[in-house]
């Protein structure tokens, strides 16, 4: 049975990391067929986005220097990994033509002062194209038959550039054409993460952090026995270790717990990763490239027994937008209009709450989306504002969502009370609470400056002391 193994940005971040990654692949490939999926070198996707933004802004100097900035870390890794000779020359030429295309794209963006969603997707895809070329070359160098595969040939998506969804049946057919014959020949495909292509062949990315999702899409397509996500921590932890240094690794969580944690900010796994895996009951492991013997976390239908609260997650950089009415217009109608207006902006709504007076509706969006959301609502409610049926559109910036996640929490009496009592004891002001309750989480909004204290206190109350 085939195993899909995805390596994140730090796992291919430099020559030393690529050596570890290649050693892991070599070991597993000796035992069973492996499909590797790789991210861009860490920082590269952000660099490509910055180059794009500079080009749109008409910054000619950045456009001039972009080629060298993009190419240098890749060339350095290649030079350290592959000795001078035909193989290095060929891979170097591949890197050269990839960066040439990225640079040409940047020049056209600069000339037009426009970066359309599809151009942006093409631009950011070069990070993965380059890292996969180097890793495949190094694997060949150490005697592992490997072949770089650009995912536009395999993962078929819809046309939502920047946040594309896979067409799983079409992808399965492509995988049978492209990956299965390679695997049958003992070749290890090194597939680019993060993107696929539309039916017309246009590169479309799966959203930031989407290489995890690529791995599970491919796992689904080749009926993998397991999907392994290799990263820089030991597994899914009880909190982000950067916020709670004493966080511990969970040995097992369910697909839905992992999805919930990821949705509420646990960056260790992309929230969409679980569904293609769950569809075919494929377990997903999170493992540490830098501690390969650590047991890791198994994500499957089962979860760790015991206390219901498993982990604390948070998302910073959000804003609350509030529409306040006078009670003169129908609330359910207002709600429908709010969400069709917000829907036109493509902003993600993280949480919705309605004041008990029934006269105001608040919802949480990403900080980057607040301006477009306010503009869309302003247009939708212009007449109501003029006639004072809607009193105001307002926002509160720099807020964060904190979530306590665990299966069956609703079934445990008093958890919500304990969550809010903990916040009270820490004198943390709760800005908003979501309506309705989920089986899997209790989430609420705090000011951004309170996030660390809130997550730390909840971790002490629910996890560390249990």
Supply the minimum distance, in Å, between the C-beta of residue 277 and ligand ADP.
Answer: 16
Q: Which of 73, 166, 196, 210 binds ligand ASP (CB under 6 A)?
A: 210
Given the complex with ligand ADP, which of 268 and 319 has the nearer CB atom? Answer: 268
Q: Which of 209, 283, 296, 406 binds Mg ion (CB under 5 A)?
A: 209
Cβ–Cβ < 8 Å for 230, 6? yes
Residue 26 CB-density burial (10 A; 0-12 exposed, 13-18 middle, 19+ buried):
middle
Q: Residue written as tokens 């910073």?
A: 316
Partner touching 198 among ligand ASP, Mg ion, ligand ADP, none, CB below 5 to 8 Å by kind? none
Question: Any contact of residue 235 with Mg ion (CB under 5 A)?
Answer: no
C-alpha to C-alpha distance for 32 and 16, rounded to whole angstroms: 25
Given the complex with ligand ADP, which of 113 and 242 has the nearer CB atom? Answer: 242
Phi and psi at residue 321, to the nearest 5° = -110, 135
Which positions from 165 to 204 touch ligand ASP by CB under 6 A, shown as an x/- string?
----------------------------xx----------
Given the complex with Mg ion, which of 248 and 267 has the nearer CB atom? Answer: 267
Given the complex with ligand ASP, which of 48 and 415 has the nearer CB atom? Answer: 48
Given the complex with ligand ADP, which of 239 and 321 has the nearer CB atom? Answer: 239
Given the complex with ligand ASP, which of 131 and 362 has the nearer CB atom? Answer: 131
Supply the minimum distance, in Å, between the C-beta of residue 437 and ligand ASP.
Answer: 32
Of 13, 41, 211, 21, the residue nearest 130 (C-alpha): 41
Given the complex with ligand ASP, which of 45 and 171 has the nearer CB atom? Answer: 45
Binding site residues, ligand ADP, CB under 6 A = 8-11, 39, 209, 231-233, 236-237, 239-242, 266-268, 311
Supply the minimum distance, in Å, between the C-beta of residue 236 and Mg ion.
Answer: 12
Which positions from 2 to 41 touch Mg ion by CB under 5 A, shown as an x/- string?
------x---------------------------------
Partner touching 190 among ligand ASP, Mg ion, ligand ADP, none, CB below 5 to 8 Å by kind? none
Partner touching 13 among ligand ASP, Mg ion, ligand ADP, none, CB below 5 to 8 Å by kind? none
Cβ–Cβ < 8 Å for 120, 106? no
Question: Any contact of residue 265 with ligand ASP (CB under 6 A)?
Answer: no
- Which residue's C-beta sits nearest to ligand ASP? 211
C-alpha to C-alpha distance for 364 and 30, rounded to whole angstroms: 49
Q: Which of 189, 196, 209, 276 binds ligand ASP (CB under 6 A)?
A: 209
Q: Which of 87, 208, 389, 460 binds ligand ASP (CB under 6 A)?
A: 208
Supply the minimum distance, in Å, between the C-beta of residue 62 and ligand ASP.
Answer: 20
Q: What contacts 423, CB < 8 A, 6 or more positions away?
A: 430, 444, 446, 454, 457
**CA dihedral for 22, 28, 31, 35, sign (positive or negative):** negative
Segment near Mg ion (CB under 5 A); pick from 80-88, 208-216, 310-318, 350-358: 208-216
Segment near ligand ASP (CB under 6 A); pick from 110-118, 209-217, 230-238, 400-408: 209-217
Supply the minimum distance, in Å, between the C-beta of residue 235 and ligand ADP.
Answer: 7
Given the complex with ligand ADP, which of 248 and 389 has the nearer CB atom? Answer: 248
Given the complex with ligand ASP, which of 49 and 349 has the nearer CB atom? Answer: 49
Given the complex with ligand ASP, which of 194 and 228 has the nearer CB atom? Answer: 194
Question: Any contact of residue 45 with ligand ASP (CB under 6 A)?
Answer: yes
Bridge partners (DSSP) listed for residue 351: 364
Residues near ligand ASP, by CB under 6 A: 8-9, 39-40, 45, 127, 193-194, 208-211
Residues near Mg ion, by CB under 5 A: 8, 209
């Amino acid at each position: 049975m085939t195993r899909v193994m995805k390596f994140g940005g730090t796992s291919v971040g430099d020559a030393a990391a690529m050596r570890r990654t290649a050693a892991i692949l070599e070991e597993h490939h000796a035992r069973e067929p492996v499909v590797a999926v790789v991210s861009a070198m860490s920082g590269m996707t952000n660099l490509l986005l910055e180059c794009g933004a500079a080009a749109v802004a008409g910054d000619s100097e950045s456009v001039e220097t972009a080629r060298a900035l993009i190419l240098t870390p890749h060339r350095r890794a290649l030079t350290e990994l592959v000795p001078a000779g035909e193989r290095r020359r060929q891979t170097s030429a591949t890197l050269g033509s990839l960066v040439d295309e990225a640079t040409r794209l940047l020049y056209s963006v600069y000339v037009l002062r426009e970066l359309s969603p599809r151009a942006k997707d093409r631009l950011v895809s070069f990070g993965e194209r380059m890292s996969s070329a180097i890793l495949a070359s190094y694997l060949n160098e150490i005697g592992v038959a490997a072949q770089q595969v650009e995912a536009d040939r395999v993962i078929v998506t819809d046309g939502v550039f920047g946040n594309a969804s896979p067409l799983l049946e079409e992808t399965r057919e492509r995988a049978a054409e492209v990956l299965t014959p390679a695997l049958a020949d003992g070749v290890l495909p090194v597939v680019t993460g993060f993107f696929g292509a539309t039916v017309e062949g246009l590169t479309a990315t799966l959203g930031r952090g989407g290489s995890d999702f690529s791995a599970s899409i491919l796992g689904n397509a080749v009926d993998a026995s397991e999907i392994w996500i290799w990263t820089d921590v030991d597994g899914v932890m009880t909190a982000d270790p950067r916020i709670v240094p004493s966080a511990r690794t969970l040995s097992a969580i369910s697909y839905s717990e992992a999805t919930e944690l990821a949705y509420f900010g646990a960056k260790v796994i992309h929230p969409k990763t679980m569904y293609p895996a769950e569809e075919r009951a494929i377990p997903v492991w999170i493992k540490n490239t830098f501690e390969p013997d650590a047991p890791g976390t198994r994500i499957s239908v089962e979860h760790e027994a015991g206390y219901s609260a498993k982990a604390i997650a948070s998302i910073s950089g959000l804003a609350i937008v509030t529409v306040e009415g006078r009670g003169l217009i129908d609330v359910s109608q207002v709600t429908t209009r709010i969400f069709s207006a917000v829907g036109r902006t493509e902003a993600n709504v993280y949480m919705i709450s309605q004041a008990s007076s029934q006269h105001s509706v608040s919802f949480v969006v990403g900080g980057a989306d607040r301006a477009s959301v306010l503009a869309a609502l302003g247009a939708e409610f212009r007449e109501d504002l003029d006639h004072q049926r809607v009193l105001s559109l307002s926002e509160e910036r720099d807020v964060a969502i904190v979530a306590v996640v665990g299966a069956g929490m609703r079934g445990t009496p008093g958890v919500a009370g304990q969550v809010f009592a903990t916040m009270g004891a820490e004198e943390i002001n709760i800005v908003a609470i979501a309506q309705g309750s989920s089986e899997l989480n209790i989430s609420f909004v705090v000011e951004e400056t309170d996030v660390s204290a809130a997550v730390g206190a909840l971790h002490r109350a629910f996890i560390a002391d249990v």
